[in-house]
Amino acid sequence: MLQIVILICSTSLTPAACQTDTALDVIVGPQATNAMMCGLQGQAYVARTAVVGRSPNEYVKIRCSPPKAVKAAQRQSL
């Protein structure tokens, strides 16, 4: 299983620099069974929200991470 993580990043960041600790917003989405489904479900999740088109100075990045890594990152940010 993979956890869908949606990062909203400033266009001043390169895609490689867009991480959970540098993103403007982090949205933890549902879990997916594999990497392909994570990408597809992540895109569908973004399409159903108001995230798209918030600002011309932001972009969306979809990450697929093991759920344990996402929970550990959330604990560190508290």
pLDDT at 36 over 60: yes
What pLDDT score does 74 carry?
A: 62
Alpha carbons 34 and 50: distance in angstroms, whole number: 26
Report residue 62 as tokens.
Answer: 């979809």
How does pLDDT run across 11-20, given as a tens digit for each residue? 999 999 999 9
Domains held by the chain: number: 1
In the block, tokens 């490689």 appear at 16
Alpha carbons 39 and 35: distance in angstroms, whole number: 6
What pLDDT score does 10 carry?
A: 95
> Structural domain of residue 65, as residue ranges?
2-77
**How is 6-67 classified by DSSP, letter by letter?**
EEEEETTS-TTT--TTT-SEEEEEEEESSHHHHHHHHHHHHHTSS-TTS-TTEEEEEEEE-H
Range of lowest pLDDT (9-23, 31-45, 62-76): 62-76
